[in-house]
Structure 1
Amino acid sequence: MTLVIRVLLVDDDPMVLMAFSAILGTDPDVEIVGTASDGDQVVTAVQAHHPDVAVIDLRMRRMGGVEATAAVAALPHPPRVIVVTSFDADENILHALDAGAQGFLLKDSAPLEIIAAVRAVAAGDGALSPRVTRYVIDHVTGDTHAAERSVARQRLELLTERELQMACGAHAGQTNEEIGAANFLSAATVKTHLSSAQTKLGLTGRIQLAILVERSGLLG
């Protein structure tokens, strides 16, 4: 039996809430359990509805997506977070990822991309719109200096060889199943190694892990 993915939508634009509700409502495995109209309502909404995934707008009037994501990440057993924005080069994208977001979508993403992102994040994978991925890679590569590379490499030395393999797979954008197939492991074992790596490094999601690998320059 397929488990239903419980989703909380957070946006200060009622039209966006309606659009995302309609799109996600076409997937029988997704249930919209609640909505919130600004970031300062996120913690209360999460505690009331216990979502698996929170889809949070990056820019809201009272509390933006970066602060809201950080507040959610600080909760016991937090939901996974997808942040959405209208701009693929929004300067707050990296801040949101650093705050604990596991996915990033543009508001004009195709319906199937939105559904796929929710499913991927709920399953423990990351999800970035292609245009956002390009921005993140360009920004990280452009801002990485020798000292930052050194720090990133020192942090990655905390990982076992197997955990580092899994981290490199996450960096390549592979799902747990794809990483497992390449390394003759089950998806569950991959998830365990990735969780261990994130715990050792004090990270809250695989995208943060992928960014750390990118900053290290280990993969050229």
Structure 2
Amino acid sequence: MRRCILGSLMLLLAGISGLSYAGSQIEEPLSNSVKALMQRSVSDRAAPTLTFATEEEGRAWMNAMSERLKKRMPDARYREDFLRTVHYEASRAGLDPQMVLGLIQVESGFKKYAVSSVGARGFMQVMPFWVRSIGANDHNLFLLRTNLRYGCTILRHYVDIERGDLYRALGRYNGSLGRPEYPNLVLSAWRKHWDYTPGNWNNTPKNI
């Protein structure tokens, strides 16, 4: 309960001040097998699609998320492309798309060209060293698809390192492992603004 209250308070302060809480992933040596796996993941070129059991479920999710994001992204076409890409990249990495939306809210405030004081870039605030480590020189971290693909691949890597412990994985993603502020912010944003239950018609928009 204390974590939830603290996270909600920090999220409110962040929203009032317009600040994001981007940190920096820490460059660490990767085994050849892990590097190869991540390289395959970031080289994916499939077109982003919604992966729901039925088309109706996909439309319901898109409508609910789009309404919540409208103030941050007024352009409907771009907003839908963004949400479709988030859902695809998160799902293929085995992550909850709504959690990833919470992470993006905290990391960049949904600003495509956000740059942190240490050089982390884009929606998911990816550090440039990842391009050298697992990508290709022509990968642009400000491109929507590229940024989300890297961000989700990196977070999945940290979840695996932490044996499924999302709280610790989020700390690693932000470069703040062992400190509660960042994981609490992401989890609070997820629950407060992006929580969604398929088939629940009470999925009312949460203002962000």
TM-score by length of 2: 0.29
TM-score by length of 1: 0.28
Larger proportion of strand: 1
Name which structure has the greater RCO, CA cutoff 8 Å, separation 6+.
Answer: 2
